[in-house]
Amino acid sequence: MRLNERGFSLAEALTGATISVIAVMGLAYSFGVGRGLVNRYEVARAALGEAQSQLEALQLVPRGDPTMAVGYVSPPIPFRYQGASLGTSSWRVVAYDDPSLPGTVNLKRVVMTVLWTRGAQADSVSLERLWLP
Amino acid sequence: MAALKLSRREEAGLTLTEVAVVMIIGTMIMAGLVGFYLASQGLWLDASTQAITQREASLVASAIRDSVRVANHAVASSVPDALHQQLALYRNVGDLEPSYYFWWDPSDSLIHAGTTIGGSGPMVTSHADRFQFTSGSQAVRMDLRLRSATGTMVDMGTLAVFMN
Protein backbone atom coordinates (compact mmCIF):
# COMPACT_ATOMS: atom_id res chain seq x y z
CA MET A 1 0.00 0.00 0.00
CA ARG A 2 2.83 2.43 0.90
CA LEU A 3 4.68 1.58 -2.33
CA ASN A 4 1.76 2.76 -4.43
CA GLU A 5 1.55 6.10 -2.59
CA ARG A 6 1.78 9.04 -4.98
CA GLY A 7 4.34 11.87 -4.53
CA PHE A 8 8.13 12.19 -4.15
CA SER A 9 10.39 10.62 -1.62
CA LEU A 10 12.95 12.72 0.28
CA ALA A 11 15.80 11.12 -1.73
CA GLU A 12 14.12 12.01 -5.02
CA ALA A 13 13.53 15.59 -3.93
CA LEU A 14 17.13 15.97 -2.76
CA THR A 15 18.48 14.50 -6.02
CA GLY A 16 16.32 16.87 -8.06
CA ALA A 17 17.39 19.85 -5.96
CA THR A 18 21.08 18.93 -6.27
CA ILE A 19 20.83 18.62 -10.07
CA SER A 20 18.99 21.96 -10.26
CA VAL A 21 21.62 23.70 -8.11
CA ILE A 22 24.45 22.28 -10.28
CA ALA A 23 22.66 23.46 -13.44
CA VAL A 24 22.06 26.94 -12.03
CA MET A 25 25.66 27.20 -10.79
CA GLY A 26 26.91 26.17 -14.25
CA LEU A 27 24.75 28.82 -15.85
CA ALA A 28 25.99 31.47 -13.42
CA TYR A 29 29.59 30.43 -14.06
CA SER A 30 29.08 30.75 -17.84
CA PHE A 31 27.74 34.29 -17.40
CA GLY A 32 30.75 35.21 -15.27
CA VAL A 33 33.17 33.74 -17.81
CA GLY A 34 31.42 35.63 -20.62
CA ARG A 35 31.71 38.90 -18.72
CA GLY A 36 35.40 38.23 -18.06
CA LEU A 37 36.04 37.60 -21.75
CA VAL A 38 34.37 40.88 -22.69
CA ASN A 39 36.66 42.70 -20.25
CA ARG A 40 39.68 40.80 -21.55
CA TYR A 41 38.97 41.67 -25.17
CA GLU A 42 38.32 45.28 -24.27
CA VAL A 43 42.02 45.61 -23.46
CA ALA A 44 42.96 43.42 -26.44
CA ARG A 45 41.07 45.78 -28.74
CA ALA A 46 42.82 48.79 -27.22
CA ALA A 47 46.16 46.97 -27.60
CA LEU A 48 45.42 46.28 -31.26
CA GLY A 49 44.67 50.00 -31.71
CA GLU A 50 47.97 50.80 -30.02
CA ALA A 51 49.86 48.41 -32.34
CA GLN A 52 48.16 49.93 -35.39
CA SER A 53 49.03 53.45 -34.23
CA GLN A 54 52.67 52.51 -33.56
CA LEU A 55 53.01 50.88 -36.99
CA GLU A 56 51.41 53.94 -38.56
CA ALA A 57 53.85 56.22 -36.71
CA LEU A 58 56.78 54.17 -38.04
CA GLN A 59 55.82 55.30 -41.54
CA LEU A 60 57.09 58.73 -40.57
CA VAL A 61 60.54 57.33 -39.78
CA PRO A 62 63.04 57.87 -42.64
CA ARG A 63 63.97 54.72 -44.54
CA GLY A 64 67.63 54.83 -43.59
CA ASP A 65 66.93 55.30 -39.89
CA PRO A 66 68.71 52.72 -37.68
CA THR A 67 65.44 51.98 -35.86
CA MET A 68 64.18 50.45 -39.11
CA ALA A 69 67.28 48.43 -39.91
CA VAL A 70 66.98 44.64 -40.17
CA GLY A 71 67.70 43.09 -36.78
CA TYR A 72 66.66 46.13 -34.75
CA VAL A 73 64.64 45.50 -31.58
CA SER A 74 63.10 48.56 -30.00
CA PRO A 75 63.10 49.26 -26.26
CA PRO A 76 59.71 48.74 -24.61
CA ILE A 77 57.26 51.64 -24.76
CA PRO A 78 54.59 51.87 -22.02
CA PHE A 79 51.11 50.79 -23.07
CA ARG A 80 48.48 52.79 -21.23
CA TYR A 81 44.75 52.24 -21.16
CA GLN A 82 42.21 54.38 -19.28
CA GLY A 83 45.00 56.10 -17.37
CA ALA A 84 46.69 52.92 -16.17
CA SER A 85 49.93 51.45 -17.43
CA LEU A 86 49.01 47.88 -18.38
CA GLY A 87 52.08 46.77 -20.28
CA THR A 88 54.54 47.59 -23.01
CA SER A 89 54.78 47.70 -26.78
CA SER A 90 57.87 47.17 -28.91
CA TRP A 91 58.80 46.37 -32.48
CA ARG A 92 61.46 44.36 -34.23
CA VAL A 93 62.60 44.39 -37.82
CA VAL A 94 63.35 41.11 -39.58
CA ALA A 95 64.40 40.30 -43.11
CA TYR A 96 61.72 39.02 -45.44
CA ASP A 97 62.19 37.20 -48.70
CA ASP A 98 59.43 37.62 -51.25
CA PRO A 99 60.03 34.91 -53.87
CA SER A 100 58.46 37.06 -56.59
CA LEU A 101 61.08 39.76 -56.07
CA PRO A 102 64.78 39.55 -56.96
CA GLY A 103 67.32 39.06 -54.16
CA THR A 104 67.06 37.26 -50.84
CA VAL A 105 66.28 40.15 -48.49
CA ASN A 106 63.96 42.24 -50.61
CA LEU A 107 61.52 43.37 -47.94
CA LYS A 108 61.55 44.15 -44.24
CA ARG A 109 58.96 42.71 -41.91
CA VAL A 110 58.14 44.92 -38.94
CA VAL A 111 56.54 43.04 -36.06
CA MET A 112 54.80 45.19 -33.46
CA THR A 113 53.99 43.40 -30.22
CA VAL A 114 51.95 44.72 -27.32
CA LEU A 115 52.22 42.82 -24.04
CA TRP A 116 50.02 43.48 -21.04
CA THR A 117 48.83 41.97 -17.80
CA ARG A 118 45.43 42.44 -16.25
CA GLY A 119 44.77 40.69 -13.00
CA ALA A 120 46.72 37.46 -13.23
CA GLN A 121 46.17 37.16 -16.98
CA ALA A 122 49.15 37.94 -19.24
CA ASP A 123 48.20 38.63 -22.84
CA SER A 124 49.72 39.90 -26.05
CA VAL A 125 48.83 40.96 -29.56
CA SER A 126 51.16 41.15 -32.57
CA LEU A 127 50.73 42.98 -35.82
CA GLU A 128 53.02 42.76 -38.83
CA ARG A 129 53.58 44.93 -41.86
CA LEU A 130 55.96 44.60 -44.78
CA TRP A 131 58.23 47.53 -45.62
CA LEU A 132 60.31 48.33 -48.66
CA PRO A 133 64.00 48.31 -47.70
CA MET B 1 -18.72 8.97 17.10
CA ALA B 2 -15.45 7.06 16.86
CA ALA B 3 -16.19 6.19 13.25
CA LEU B 4 -16.89 9.84 12.46
CA LYS B 5 -13.56 10.98 14.04
CA LEU B 6 -11.65 8.36 12.04
CA SER B 7 -13.20 9.42 8.75
CA ARG B 8 -12.33 13.14 9.41
CA ARG B 9 -8.72 12.17 10.18
CA GLU B 10 -8.40 10.23 6.90
CA GLU B 11 -9.94 13.05 4.83
CA ALA B 12 -7.82 13.86 1.74
CA GLY B 13 -6.29 17.36 1.30
CA LEU B 14 -3.89 19.72 3.04
CA THR B 15 -4.08 21.59 6.29
CA LEU B 16 -3.66 25.37 6.46
CA THR B 17 -0.25 24.89 8.07
CA GLU B 18 0.93 22.60 5.27
CA VAL B 19 -0.28 25.02 2.62
CA ALA B 20 1.40 27.94 4.41
CA VAL B 21 4.72 26.10 4.73
CA VAL B 22 4.63 25.06 1.05
CA MET B 23 3.77 28.60 -0.02
CA ILE B 24 6.59 30.12 2.04
CA ILE B 25 9.14 27.64 0.68
CA GLY B 26 7.80 28.12 -2.86
CA THR B 27 8.00 31.91 -2.54
CA MET B 28 11.59 31.71 -1.27
CA ILE B 29 12.61 29.46 -4.18
CA MET B 30 10.83 31.66 -6.73
CA ALA B 31 12.40 34.81 -5.26
CA GLY B 32 15.84 33.20 -5.56
CA LEU B 33 15.21 32.15 -9.15
CA VAL B 34 13.81 35.55 -10.16
CA GLY B 35 16.73 37.31 -8.45
CA PHE B 36 19.20 35.06 -10.23
CA TYR B 37 17.43 35.61 -13.56
CA LEU B 38 17.45 39.39 -13.16
CA ALA B 39 21.12 39.44 -12.08
CA SER B 40 22.07 37.23 -15.04
CA GLN B 41 20.06 39.36 -17.42
CA GLY B 42 21.77 42.51 -16.10
CA LEU B 43 25.19 40.91 -16.43
CA TRP B 44 24.46 39.74 -19.96
CA LEU B 45 23.01 43.11 -21.00
CA ASP B 46 26.01 44.97 -19.56
CA ALA B 47 28.48 42.65 -21.29
CA SER B 48 26.74 42.70 -24.66
CA THR B 49 26.31 46.50 -24.73
CA GLN B 50 29.96 46.91 -23.75
CA ALA B 51 31.02 44.56 -26.55
CA ILE B 52 28.88 46.56 -29.02
CA THR B 53 30.48 49.81 -27.84
CA GLN B 54 33.97 48.30 -28.20
CA ARG B 55 33.18 47.30 -31.77
CA GLU B 56 31.82 50.76 -32.49
CA ALA B 57 34.95 52.42 -31.09
CA SER B 58 37.07 50.23 -33.38
CA LEU B 59 34.82 51.10 -36.30
CA VAL B 60 35.20 54.85 -35.71
CA ALA B 61 38.99 54.52 -35.36
CA SER B 62 39.19 52.46 -38.55
CA ALA B 63 37.01 54.90 -40.52
CA ILE B 64 39.10 57.88 -39.37
CA ARG B 65 42.34 56.06 -40.20
CA ASP B 66 41.12 55.22 -43.71
CA SER B 67 39.92 58.77 -44.36
CA VAL B 68 43.11 60.40 -43.06
CA ARG B 69 45.28 58.13 -45.24
CA VAL B 70 43.64 59.40 -48.43
CA ALA B 71 43.88 63.03 -47.29
CA ASN B 72 46.66 65.56 -47.71
CA HIS B 73 46.12 67.58 -44.56
CA ALA B 74 43.54 68.21 -41.85
CA VAL B 75 42.28 70.91 -39.54
CA ALA B 76 41.00 70.08 -36.05
CA SER B 77 38.79 72.65 -34.37
CA SER B 78 37.12 72.83 -30.97
CA VAL B 79 33.59 72.75 -32.30
CA PRO B 80 31.37 72.63 -30.29
CA ASP B 81 33.91 72.47 -27.40
CA ALA B 82 37.45 71.35 -26.59
CA LEU B 83 36.27 67.92 -25.46
CA HIS B 84 34.24 67.27 -28.60
CA GLN B 85 36.13 68.42 -31.65
CA GLN B 86 35.62 68.49 -35.36
CA LEU B 87 38.04 67.21 -37.97
CA ALA B 88 38.05 68.60 -41.50
CA LEU B 89 40.04 66.61 -44.06
CA TYR B 90 41.43 68.10 -47.27
CA ARG B 91 42.11 65.76 -50.17
CA ASN B 92 44.71 67.87 -52.01
CA VAL B 93 47.30 70.44 -51.01
CA GLY B 94 45.58 73.47 -52.52
CA ASP B 95 42.00 72.60 -51.58
CA LEU B 96 40.00 75.41 -50.02
CA GLU B 97 37.04 73.28 -49.01
CA PRO B 98 37.35 70.11 -46.91
CA SER B 99 36.45 66.88 -48.66
CA TYR B 100 35.30 65.06 -45.53
CA TYR B 101 34.32 65.82 -41.93
CA PHE B 102 34.12 64.00 -38.64
CA TRP B 103 32.18 65.78 -35.91
CA TRP B 104 30.25 65.33 -32.68
CA ASP B 105 26.67 66.54 -32.73
CA PRO B 106 25.54 68.06 -29.40
CA SER B 107 21.87 67.40 -30.21
CA ASP B 108 22.33 63.60 -30.02
CA SER B 109 25.86 63.24 -28.49
CA LEU B 110 26.79 60.95 -31.38
CA ILE B 111 29.67 60.97 -33.86
CA HIS B 112 28.86 61.84 -37.42
CA ALA B 113 30.85 61.76 -40.65
CA GLY B 114 30.16 63.07 -44.11
CA THR B 115 31.10 65.35 -46.93
CA THR B 116 29.08 68.20 -45.40
CA ILE B 117 28.37 69.12 -41.79
CA GLY B 118 24.91 67.94 -40.81
CA GLY B 119 24.51 66.07 -44.06
CA SER B 120 24.51 62.54 -42.72
CA GLY B 121 23.35 60.39 -39.85
CA PRO B 122 25.46 59.13 -36.94
CA MET B 123 28.25 56.61 -37.56
CA VAL B 124 27.56 54.62 -34.40
CA THR B 125 24.88 54.41 -31.74
CA SER B 126 27.08 54.84 -28.64
CA HIS B 127 27.31 58.29 -27.11
CA ALA B 128 30.71 59.95 -27.20
CA ASP B 129 32.01 61.56 -24.02
CA ARG B 130 35.27 62.58 -25.67
CA PHE B 131 36.19 63.05 -29.32
CA GLN B 132 39.49 64.87 -29.61
CA PHE B 133 42.06 65.34 -32.36
CA THR B 134 45.66 66.44 -32.54
CA SER B 135 46.46 67.38 -36.09
CA GLY B 136 50.03 67.82 -37.31
CA SER B 137 51.55 68.32 -40.74
CA GLN B 138 52.08 64.57 -41.24
CA ALA B 139 49.52 62.79 -39.10
CA VAL B 140 46.35 63.03 -37.02
CA ARG B 141 45.90 61.59 -33.55
CA MET B 142 42.36 60.75 -32.41
CA ASP B 143 41.26 60.04 -28.84
CA LEU B 144 37.78 58.71 -28.29
CA ARG B 145 35.69 57.76 -25.28
CA LEU B 146 32.36 56.09 -25.94
CA ARG B 147 29.69 55.34 -23.33
CA SER B 148 27.72 52.12 -23.62
CA ALA B 149 23.96 51.96 -23.02
CA THR B 150 24.63 50.74 -19.48
CA GLY B 151 27.16 53.50 -18.75
CA THR B 152 30.44 51.63 -19.25
CA MET B 153 33.23 53.75 -20.74
CA VAL B 154 35.31 52.46 -23.65
CA ASP B 155 38.47 54.30 -24.70
CA MET B 156 40.10 54.10 -28.11
CA GLY B 157 42.98 56.00 -29.65
CA THR B 158 44.53 55.90 -33.07
CA LEU B 159 47.09 57.67 -35.20
CA ALA B 160 46.87 58.00 -38.96
CA VAL B 161 49.37 59.36 -41.46
CA PHE B 162 48.50 61.50 -44.49
CA MET B 163 49.43 59.58 -47.62
CA ASN B 164 48.05 61.76 -50.37
ipTM of the complex as predicted = 0.74
A58: closest chain B residue by CA: B161
Q: Tell me the pLDDT of chain A (133 aa) as tens digits.
A: 555 567 778 888 889 888 988 888 888 888 888 888 888 888 999 999 999 999 999 999 998 899 999 999 999 999 998 889 999 999 999 999 988 888 888 899 999 999 999 888 899 999 999 998 8
Residues of chain B with pLDDT under 50: none
**Three-class SS state of A78:** strand
Residues of A whose CB is below 8 A from B158: 49, 52-53, 56
Q: Quote the pTM value.
A: 0.80
Cα torsion angle, B54, B56, B58, B64, sign: negative
Three state DSSP letters for A112-125? EEEEEEECCEEEEE
CA distance A83 to A93: 29
How distant is the Cα of A108 from the closest Cα of chain B, in angstroms? Answer: 20
Nearest to A24 among B36, B154, B160 (CB): B36
User: What is the predicted pLDDT for the residue at B7?
Assistant: 56
Residues of A whose CB is below 8 A from B67: none
| Cβ <8 Å between B58 and A24 | no
B73-81 and A84-96: which strand pairing?
unpaired
User: What is the predicted pLDDT for the residue at A90?
Assistant: 96
User: What is the predicted pLDDT for the residue at B6?
Assistant: 53
CA distance A123 to A37: 12
Helical axes B16-69 vs A10-58, angle rounded to 10°: 10
How distant is the Cα of A43 from the closest Cα of chain B, in angstroms? Answer: 9
- How many CB pairs below 8 A link A and B? 60
CA distance A111 to B116: 38
Residues of B whose CB is below 8 A from A34: 43-44, 47
Q: Which residues contact A86 (CB under 8 A, 6 or more apart)?
A: A43, A79, A80, A116, A117, A118
User: What is the predicted pLDDT for the residue at A102?
Assistant: 86
Query: Which among A27, A29, A35 is the top mutation candidate for probing chain B, defined by the most B β-carbons within 10 Å of its own β-carbon?
Result: A35
| Cβ <8 Å between B58 and A45 | yes
Residues of B whose CB is below 8 A from A35: 43, 46-47
Residues of B whose CB is below 8 A from A38: 47, 50-51, 54
The answer to whether the beta carbons of residues B160 and B68 sit under 8 Å apart is yes
Residues of A whose CB is below 8 A from B141: 53
